Structure 1
Amino acid sequence: MDALADRQVAAFLDNLRCQRRASPHTVEGYAHDLARLREFCAGKDIADWTRLEPAQLREHIALRHRDKIASRSLQRELSAIRGFFAFLVKRGEAQRNPAQGVRAPKTPKTLPKPLDVDQLAGLLDAPAEDALDIRDLAIWELFYSSGLRLSELTGLDLYDVDRHAGQVLIRHGKGDKSRMVPVGGPALAALERWLDLRPAYADAKATALFVSRLGRRISVRTIQVRLDRWQLRQGFPEHLHPHRLRHSFASHLLEASGDLRAVQELLGHANLATTQVYTHLDFQHLAKVYDNAHPRARKKNRAKDGQG
């Protein structure tokens, strides 16, 4: 590529620095990203920026991905390239932006490791030292008992819990969908202990099931901070997040029942595929469920047994 290509990159970086007030770190990162793209173009005998085709840019990103560059880094590179060509188009130095439809490979979903039953017992059976600990234990129990999302739990009102039926109504789940989920015995007992103490913190008009020490509806951040403290007090070695309690609920229920559809309903997932990924369900487990449940699979197994 010629000197004009270098001047165009320099003008773009100068625009970032002076007009858009980008940080030095951002400008340096964009400079490295465009230098790598220039090196690729030179290797492909692409004479200037306007001759770069989307297919060639995809090849460049694919090569970077093959070199174990993380998806987030590739997304940043594409952002730099997209911004650079938008700059050239605006200045009339390019007719199109070849990066417009190019996407980086998706970041693989990482899921928290479920806690085992003994670990959960250690966390949930620990003694409370004060009223707020009793409230917190009711929260942890409800997370694990019913598999709630953090936002669903903070949104609960007193009338959403039916203690006699042993169930809780989620009025506004993901996608604003409602669902009813069961509540186990230990969670109900923990809720009873908290509800006995709640009037000391909430006035008669307050509807929130869980309130802060100031009487307001408990916040997402407060729950996260309190769980961090609880984890440290119990000597638990790993970081805990409320989502990990929900994940443990789903994993343990699926392991015991094998009923993917039921777990899907309890979690409030719109798609079964989401539940399958969420619970680490692998093909071996699916094959086992199939062999045990499908009529033709059972006949096949019986035929084999008869031959033996």
Structure 2
Amino acid sequence: MSADFEQLLNDFLRQLSVEQSASPHTLKSYQRDLKQLMRYCSDKAIKNCSEVKQADIRYHIASRYRLGISGKSLQRELSAIRSFYNYLLKNNDTNSNPAQYVKSPKPVRKLPKTLDVDQITGLLEAETSSHLETRDIAMFELFYSSGLRLSELAALDVNDIDLLDHSLIVRVGKGGKARLLPIGSKAISTLMTWLALRAKIAQTCETALFVSHKGTRLGQRSIQARLKQWCQKKGIAEHIHPHMLRHSFASHLLESSQDLRAVQELLGHSDINTTQIYTHLDFQHLAQVYDNAHPRAKKKIDSPTVNKQKTEKPATM
């Protein structure tokens, strides 16, 4: 692989960061995906970006699929490659985009796992025994109350919360979009308790809403670890991750309101098709209620009995 290829990749990532304000997560994903393409080109002795053909992209994606990479991940890789080549086209470093018409294997659409209301109640209304557990419950309540992503919750500052208005602002959501979200009364109560404790823990110049025992911003991995630890303490065998609380928020809200557009706005989805996956969860719930409650909806169907008695011939009139 030529040094020019590597330099073009670095220039592309710099442009994403500076001009498009791409998040660190997006930059890391693009870099990882395009490094895979560079390895392929190196194996095939392709030295320049302009030498990559459509057949190369197809073969590269097919090889990745055979390694067990999911269709969803390959869609993301193709998107990264297309964006990279569009950048090269714009700067006259190539004459075509070899990934433009390449399709990835269709991903298997998996329904997100959710918790039912009783499970949520058991998780969030358990007694706490330390300042840090009080903080944790405030975090978990906020996940479920406002449908936040893990990155969004970790990035919250104290000034992003309005306790009087019962709202919060996500300043940089997915795709760089901001949104205003409501906060439920249960979450408000736990936040007020936590903020009183936070004042004694947080370092003087720390702006983060949720801080560690050292007084600094709590990272995403620490939040994940705290949820896992809390579940273990409460004897919950199922693996519960932060996004499951977001899924539960969406599923329960849609089940009660039937307002898909509102749920889309609250979740910060740019495409309503992403939100529609929760309608499948809602239908599963309705179908289960129907099967359990409707007198003629039982799964087991009895075979009709044959009346072996001879029927009397009707009298002629």
TM-score class, shorter-chain normalisation, is 0.5 to 0.7
Kindly state the Cα deviation for residue 113 of structure 1 after the two structures are TM-superposed.
1.4
Q: 2: distance between equivalents of 1:167 and 1:99?
A: 43
Matched, 1:131 2:131: yes
Kindly state the Cα deviation for residue 143 of structure 1 after the two structures are TM-superposed.
0.2
Structure 2 equivalent of residue 220 of structure 1: 220
Q: 1: distance between equivalents of 2:133 and 2:282?
A: 41
Matched, 1:149 2:149: yes
- After TM superposition, list the pairs within 5 Å mapping 1:33-72 onto structure 2: 72=70
Q: 2: distance between equivalents of 1:124 and 1:180?
A: 24
Structure 2 equivalent of residue 92 of structure 1: none
Q: 2: distance between equivalents of 1:275 and 1:100?
A: 27
Q: Which SS does the other structure have where 1:281 is aligned?
A: helix
Against the structure 1 CA distance between its residues 71 and 157, is the aligned structure 2 distance closer, same or farther, given a 3 Å change threshold?
A: closer
User: Does the 8 Å contact 1:71/1:105 carry over to 2?
Assistant: no
Structure 2 equivalent of residue 257 of structure 1: 257
Q: 1: distance between equivalents of 2:170 and 2:133?
A: 24
TM-score normalized by structure 1? 0.60
User: Does the 8 Å contact 1:147/1:266 carry over to 2?
Assistant: yes
Structure 2 equivalent of residue 165 of structure 1: 165
Paired letter, 1:191:
L
Matched, 1:201 2:201: yes
Deviations 1:37-61 (A, max 9, x none): xxxxxxxxxxxxxxxx96xx99xx7
User: Does the 8 Å contact 1:113/1:244 carry over to 2?
Assistant: yes
Against the structure 1 CA distance between its residues 175 and 69, is the aligned structure 2 distance closer, same or farther, given a 3 Å change threshold?
A: closer
Q: 2: distance between equivalents of 1:119 and 1:282?
A: 16
Kindly state the Cα deviation for residue 99 of structure 1 after the two structures are TM-superposed.
11
- Displaced runs of 4 or more, over 2 A: 68-75, 98-104, 109-112, 280-285
Kindly state the Cα deviation for residue 194 of structure 1 after the two structures are TM-superposed.
0.4
- After TM superposition, list the pairs within 5 Å mapping 1:99-114 onto structure 2: 103-114=103-114
Q: 2: distance between equivalents of 1:149 and 1:158?
A: 17
Q: 1: distance between equivalents of 2:130 and 2:144?
A: 22
Mean CA deviation greater in 128-137 or 102-111: 102-111
Against the structure 1 CA distance between its residues 196 and 253, is the aligned structure 2 distance closer, same or farther, given a 3 Å change threshold?
A: same
Deviations 1:48-105 (A, max 9, x none): xxxxx96xx99xx7xxx9xx99664997xxxxxxxxxxxxxxxxxxxxxx99975541
Paired letter, 1:255:
E
User: Does the 8 Å contact 1:71/1:107 carry over to 2?
Assistant: no
Q: 1: distance between equivalents of 2:99 and 2:262?
A: 43
- The structure in which a higher percent of residues are helix is 1
Q: 1: distance between equivalents of 2:114 and 2:214?
A: 33
Q: Which runs of 5+ in 2 are unaligned?
A: 1-39, 41-53, 75-97, 285-317
Paired letter, 1:108:
V
Cα RMSD after superposing both structures: 4.0
Structure 2 equivalent of residue 232 of structure 1: 232
Against the structure 1 CA distance between its residues 163 and 245, is the aligned structure 2 distance closer, same or farther, given a 3 Å change threshold?
A: same
Q: Which SS does the other structure have where 2:120 is aligned?
A: helix
Paired letter, 2:107:
T
Kindly state the Cα deviation for residue 232 of structure 1 after the two structures are TM-superposed.
0.6
User: Does the 8 Å contact 1:71/1:106 carry over to 2?
Assistant: no
Q: 2: distance between equivalents of 1:282 and 1:201?
A: 41
Against the structure 1 CA distance between its residues 192 and 282, is the aligned structure 2 distance closer, same or farther, given a 3 Å change threshold?
A: closer
Kindly state the Cα deviation for residue 164 of structure 1 after the two structures are TM-superposed.
0.5
Structure 2 equivalent of residue 241 of structure 1: 241
Aligned residues: 217
User: Does the 8 Å contact 1:174/1:268 carry over to 2?
Assistant: yes
Structure 1 equivalent of residue 266 of structure 2: 266
Q: 2: distance between equivalents of 1:160 and 1:205?
A: 16
Structure 1 equivalent of residue 280 of structure 2: 281
Q: 2: distance between equivalents of 1:162 and 1:112?
A: 30
TM-score normalized by structure 2? 0.59
Q: Which runs of 5+ in 1 are unaligned?
A: 1-29, 31-52, 76-97, 286-308
Deviations 1:113-157 (A, max 9, x none): 110000011110011010000000000000000000001001111
Structure 1 equivalent of residue 182 of structure 2: 182
Structure 1 equivalent of residue 191 of structure 2: 191
